[in-house]
Amino acid sequence: MDDNQGNGRDRIRQYYRCFKKADRETLSGLLVPDFRHRSEYATYTDREAMLDDIWPPWARRGLAIFGSLERARNLWSATR
């Protein structure tokens, strides 16, 4: 693996860590100012507008995620 692949993986980990920690400021800094994104759901030509749309409601309220997705699934399954 070359350095670029490692840096890309680290960047992706940082990106997802920002969502987990509700750290929008760091997330914004990870994306270049002229970031563009296009998918079947939306086209974004402005980084901050995209973050406004995709930033999770729980993060806007100052809530946090604790534990893992696997633990959440197990807890949810146990209540069914």
Nearest one of 68, 69, 53, 54 to 19, comparing CA atoms: 54
Question: Sign of the C-alpha dihedral, residues 6, 30, 38, 16?
Answer: positive
Q: What is the pLDDT along the chain (80 residues), one digit of tens a residue?
A: 444 556 888 988 998 888 888 899 999 999 998 999 898 988 999 999 988 888 877 677 665 556 666 666 666 666 65
Structure pTM? 0.59
